[in-house]
A and B are shown apart, each in its own frame.
Chain A
Amino acid sequence: MLRVLKLKKYYGHIRGIEDVSFEIDEGVIYGLIGPNGAGKTTTIRTIIGMIKADEGEVYIGDFKVPDELDRIKHEIGYVPGEVNFYGDMKVGEFLEFNRRFYKNVDTVYEKELIETLGIEMDKRFRDLSHGNKKKVAILQALVHKPKYLIMDEPTNGLDPLVQQRFYQLLERHRKMGTVILFSSHILSEVERICQRFGMIKDGVVIKDGDVDSLRKISYKIVRVYGLRGELEEYRKSCENGVVTFHVPNDDMRRFLQKVCELGFEDIEVKSPTLEDIFLEYYK
């Protein structure tokens, strides 16, 4: 289990995080969701012991961070938000360097990861694109099959195909009983792969729970052109003949049926930004 209790961290007078608490059980993917500057990276960097909290506690398994972190580090996999590995090393050399930190790395699994993620081994790290750097970061975090997997916006920069493969890898690790912390600013991603979520805003976890409850507060923005009729039960605004609805995700099917029954000229479905969701939540 990973436990984060009432974490607080200020950088001088600047707020990092104010009050962050959550727990993640084995075999659970926890999505820490929040806009940029909300405190996701500060929370993660406190968990991995890079920075010390002003207040609060972190436990990875039975080990308190940062005092006992060294005793559990071999069980941790970490994907940083901004990937910076040794630019002068070729990817193959880097993986060999990384392997030496762990006992008995499963090289068959390493090869599988290389193929699944499509990693180019002969290039120097500094010559890789952002997405390819991210793939290497994912590989080095998963290769030793950690019990605790901590990832700061891991899909940022990955192409959709690799994203799908990455989600499948995560699911495999989840089934192995791994505790997975996954930060993101993309709501749909958290809805899709996580079992639990925490919403962080201005350094405070303002809501957490099962992903099912996240689906209740998340919605889509639907713009309907030339709607022939009225739909009173949905919140809407009207401008120049275009009706904009806010439709809860779990009610989308029913809404679309009704719109089809009434008839329309064109329709556009958009995901709201995370800020929109937070504003909605605060109303």
Chain B
Amino acid sequence: MNIIVREIRSKLRTFIIWIGIITLFILMYIPFTNQFLEESETMVKFLEKVPKFLLKAFSIDVELFSMPEGIFGSEGMSFIYILVGVFASMMAGGIFAKEFEEKTIEYILVKPISRKYLFRQKVLALLIFVLSLSLTFTIGTLAFFKVFVTVGYSQKVLFGFGLYVLTIQIFFSSIAVLLSVIFQRSSLTTSISLGILIFMYFGNALASTIEKIKWLEKICVFHYLPLTDTIVKRQIFGMNALMIIVVSMGILFVSQKIFEREDILI
């Protein structure tokens, strides 16, 4: 418990800033939903002139602009994916790699706790942050829709967005934890995990438009959480999310084993 409390206290300010960023970002979209819907015809005409590749890159489907969830769920959610991916990578790097980089690991490892316990406490602290951000996002989205959107919308889809946000965070935080225990340096860990995030995001967008690299989308986590299909078909890809979470847990388990055995070279 001591470790969890310490991690939460030390990262609380960063977390609050991120809560603010996500909330403001949601506020940039949802209050304008009614206006967008009223003027959707103009928007559709404009979008028909935009290259299809660009539309796919930002999960924009013309059909989405006739649905209230679609306006936020297309471009807005695409940015949210990137934002929460960055948050998760940075938070995981801060909780794990910084302990190596600032050499505090030398102190904590001599205290009467096992490496396994230390690792699990840190993962728990990370999951608390990830869950809290996802909850804030979900509650915020539901609340803003209730306040600002006067036409009918699907709450199920909005819950789906919340689940996707949680899944993306768990996935990228597990990647950052693995990189942290391997490289033991926060700058390297954050850079590589952000690189993977950007690669997966744009890789998925490219692969969906270029036939030759279609295979690429299979390794991109975003492919399994498709926003357009979720909104248009009103279908939550829960099983995909569950599988990604299971894979993430596997990555965390491997990270724990590495952490338990490796030399701490500081």
Report yes or no: B107 in contact with A97, Cβ–Cβ below 8 A. no
Q: B102 interface residue, CB < 8 Å from A? A: yes
Given contacts A80-B106, A85-B104, A88-B10, contact A101 B265 (CB under 8 A): no
**B202–chain A nearest beta-carbon distance, Å:** 36
Q: Is A227 an interface residue (CB 8 A)?
A: no
Contact A82 B112 (CB under 8 A): no
- Contact present for B113 and A73 (CB under 8 Å): yes
Known A80-B106, A86-B104; contact A50-B263, beta-carbon cutoff 8 A = yes
Let me know if A118 is at the binding interface, CB within 8 A.
Answer: no
Q: Is A283 on the interface with B (CB-CB < 8 A)?
A: no
- Which bucket holds chain A's interface residue count? 20 to 34
CB distance from B120 to the nearest CB of A (A): 14
Partner of B6, one of A52, A76, A87, A97: A97
Judged by DSSP, the binding face of A is loop
- With contact pairs A86-B10, A88-B10 given, residues A50 and B106 touching in the complex (Cβ less than 8 Å): yes
Minimum CB–CB distance for B74 against chain A, Å: 40
A101 touches B10 (CB 8 A): no
In the complex, the answer to whether A74 meets B112 with C-beta atoms within 8 Å is yes
Instruction: State whether A50 and B6 are in contact (beta carbons under 8 Å apart), knowing that A73-B111, A76-B110, A102-B112 are contacts in the complex.
Output: no
Residue B113 contacts which of A45, A78, A101 (CB distance < 8 angstroms)? A101
Bound-state CA distance A100–B108 (Å) is: 12
Beta-carbon contacts of B1-30 to A below 8 Å, as 1s and 0s?
010001000100000000000000000000
In the complex, A84 has a CB within 8 A of chain B: yes
Instruction: List the B side residues contacting A74 at CB < 8 Å.
Output: 112
Overall SS of chain B's interface: loop
Partner of A101, one of B112, B114, B261, B264: B112
- A73-B110, A73-B113, A76-B110 in contact; A84/B103 too (CB < 8 A)? yes
Question: B5: shortest Cβ distance to chain A, in Å?
Answer: 9
Q: What is the CA–CA distance of A100 and B264 in the complex, to the nearest angstrom?
A: 24
Residue B109 at the chain A interface, CB threshold 8 Å: yes
In the complex, the answer to whether A50 meets B2 with C-beta atoms within 8 Å is no
Chain B interfacial residues counted at CB < 8 A: 18
- Report Cα–Cα, A245/B184, bound state, in Å: 51
Task: Name the interface residues of A75-103: CB closer than 8 Å to any CB of B.
Answer: 76, 78, 80, 82, 84-88, 97-98, 100-102
The CA-CA distance from A27 to B27 in the complex, in Å, is: 67
Q: Min CB distance, A184 to chain B, in Å?
A: 19
Which of A52, A80, A84, A87 is close to B263, meaning CB atoms less than 8 Å apart? A52
Contacting pair A97 B2 (CB below 8 A):
yes
Query: Would A51 and B265 count as touching, CB distance under 8 A?
Result: yes
CA of A52 to CA of B103 in the docked complex: distance in angstroms? Answer: 18
Q: How far does the Cβ of A181 sit from chain B's closest Cβ, in whole Å?
A: 13
B236-266: which have CB < 8 Å to A? 261, 263-265
A/B interface sample: 20 pairs, CB < 8 A: A11-B265, A45-B106, A45-B264, A48-B110, A50-B109, A50-B263, A52-B263, A70-B113, A70-B114, A73-B110, A73-B111, A73-B113, A84-B104, A84-B107, A85-B107, A86-B6, A86-B10, A87-B102, A101-B2, A102-B112
A sample of 15 more A-B contacts (CB under 8 A), given A70-B112, A78-B110, A101-B113, is: A50-B109, A70-B113, A70-B114, A73-B111, A73-B112, A76-B110, A84-B102, A86-B104, A87-B102, A97-B6, A98-B111, A100-B2, A101-B112, A102-B112, A140-B107
B-side residues, CB < 8 A to A, are 2, 6, 10, 102-104, 106-107, 109-114, 261, 263-265
